[in-house]
Amino acid sequence: MAYLLYSALNREGQSIRRLGQYAALQDLDKELSLHGEELVDFHLLSDGIGRILESLRGKPKPLEIAEFCTTLSHYVAGGIELQGALADAAKSTSSSAMRSAIIDIRRNLKGGYSLSESMRMTGRFPDVVISMTRIGEEGGSLASTLRDAAQHIERVEDIKGAAKRAMVYPTFTLLVVVAAGAFWMTAVVPKIVQLFEAMQVQLEPATLMLIAMSDFFNAYWPMMLAIVAAIPVSWILARRNKRFRITSDNALWRLPLIGRIVRGSQMAFYYQYLSLMYAAGVVITHALDTMQTTVSNKYFAYRVSSLLDDLRSGRTLADAFTECELFPLLDQRMVSIGEQTGNLEEQLDKLAEIHFNRVQALVEVLPKFVEPAMLLILGGCFAFFIIALLGPLYSMISNVGGV
């Protein structure tokens, strides 16, 4: 699929300009002819430029997509035809990105494409929504599959939200400490040092160390700011390398406490997705194959990639879990029971709930672990400043009193 930026004339003779992905130029000609439009000019774009231009158009947020799926499922269940349902959905949404995506879907539907294919062509919907929509179209259960897709997105966002909330407190505290330290180094310490020098106070080693740190900070702060700004940029660029991303995700996976939140959120998402796809009638091997691209932690994706080969070689899912050596014993037992009793969907859903509840509990507990550590850091910094500054001040006051 290549990105094409093209200009065309519609039936009214108006010039239009669009961006799209097409396997061949003939596909673009076919699409335009279905709408009574005529190609005027086109430019073949590189994948990088195409993705940048596509991102500038904006993508709907996950919860906006969930709301759209829920609304559309109600319309479909009520027997309302798709074009009318989509027109109402476009009017009711407050998101310009969602409205633009719905307009593109309506346009693709008029061109003879199915709803799932129309969603895929917009490039703005996740694979799970497209897959569930296609299953619903083929099985005549579009309303229920759209509703299930919406519930899945909402659950995934709950999991992500829980993981993010766990990081808010330590991140905020760290930023406050850094900002306070920078203020003291640049604004307070230099003025106090001038006072010490004017009074010819004998300085303690801690004070000399603080002065050296302040001088270094004031002399090289532009370079330090550049380094701080370069760190996230370098991180983003490095994460594009598959090997580095697997390695960094592996390190995150093994961190104490934070790693438990990462593992729990990833497994909750994994089981929720498998349960949803299995309930919809998707072959388990196809569901596992799709999961390789939807799992955000690439170390986890790398480790579970062997499951697909194990299943194709005739092993059960429980045996594949055991061979993978990544899943807890409880997970292996519950999946095995699900396969033996024929209620694998229910067992996978229970596992998703178990891991999600664990993540929620860890998020509530994390501040209780982080707060003492942060207090120790703050206390240590405060004690250092007190020793470094009050000692010379006491000597200075004593000298003045002696005079």
* Band of residue 66 on the pLDDT scale cut at 50, 70, 90: very high
Composition of the chain by helix, strand, coil, percent to 5: 80, 5, 15
Vertex 228: Cα angle to 226 and 229 (nearest 5)? 65
What is the reported pLDDT for 115?
Answer: 93
How far apart, in whole angstroms, are the C-alpha atoms of residue 354 and residue 401? 69
Q: 38 - beta bridge partners? A: 9
53 or 5: which leads in pLDDT: 5
Token pair in block for residue 211: 């002065």
What is the reported pLDDT for 56?
Answer: 65
* Band of residue 46 on the pLDDT scale cut at 50, 70, 90: confident
Fill in the DSSP letter of residue 342.
Answer: T
What is the reported pLDDT for 355?
Answer: 92
Give the 3-state DSSP-derived string for 122-188, with helices as H, strands as E and coil as C: HCCCCHHHHHHHHHHHHHCCHHHHHHHHHHHHHHHHHHHHHHHHHHHHHHHHHHHHHHHHHHHHHHH
Mean local confidence (pLDDT), 198-217 = 82
Mean local confidence (pLDDT), 327-336 = 93
Is residue 96 predicted with pLDDT exceeding 60? yes
* Band of residue 180 on the pLDDT scale cut at 50, 70, 90: confident
270 or 49: which leads in pLDDT: 270
Segment among 67-76, 84-93, 126-135 with least mean pLDDT: 126-135
What is the reported pLDDT for 54?
Answer: 66
Closest CA to 394 of 386, 210, 190: 386
Highest mean pLDDT among 41-50, 92-101, 273-282: 92-101
How far apart, in whole angstroms, are the C-alpha atoms of residue 288 and residue 310? 11
157 or 200: which leads in pLDDT: 157
Is residue 401 predicted with pLDDT exceeding 60? no
List of domains in the chain:
2-57 (3.30.1490), 62-153 (1.20.81.30), 260-351 (1.20.81)
Spatial CB neighbours of 242, under 8 Å, sequence gap ≥ 6: 298
* Band of residue 44 on the pLDDT scale cut at 50, 70, 90: confident
Amino acid at 58: G
Token pair in block for residue 353: 């709930």
Is residue 29 predicted with pLDDT exceeding 90? no
Residue tagged 């004017």 (tokens): 198
Is residue 154 predicted with pLDDT exceeding 70? yes
What is the reported pLDDT for 348?
Answer: 92
Mean local confidence (pLDDT), 107-131 = 85
**SS3 state of residue 337:** helix
Mean local confidence (pLDDT), 278-297 = 81
Residue 315, by phi and psi: left (phi above 0), alpha (psi -120 to 50) or beta?
A: beta
How far apart, in whole angstroms, are the C-alpha atoms of residue 205 and residue 196? 14
Which is it for the CA torsion 36, 41, 44, 45, positive or negative? negative
* Band of residue 390 on the pLDDT scale cut at 50, 70, 90: confident
* Band of residue 97 on the pLDDT scale cut at 50, 70, 90: confident
Mean pLDDT of the chain: 84
pTM of the complete model? 0.68
How far apart, in whole angstroms, are the C-alpha atoms of residue 59 and residue 325? 37
Mean local confidence (pLDDT), 195-207 = 78
H or E element at residue 387: helix 344-402
Highest mean pLDDT among 8-17, 258-267, 290-299, 371-380: 258-267
Contact 263, 249 (CB under 8 A): no
Mean local confidence (pLDDT), 276-293 = 81
Q: 20 - beta bridge partners? A: 4
Mean local confidence (pLDDT), 158-162 = 78
DSSP for 54-110 reads: HHHH----HHHHHHHHHHHHHHHHTT--HHHHHHHHHHH---HHHHHHHHHHHHHHH
How far apart, in whole angstroms, are the C-alpha atoms of residue 394 and residue 189? 16
Token pair in block for residue 359: 């993540």
How far apart, in whole angstroms, are the C-alpha atoms of residue 63 and residue 150? 8
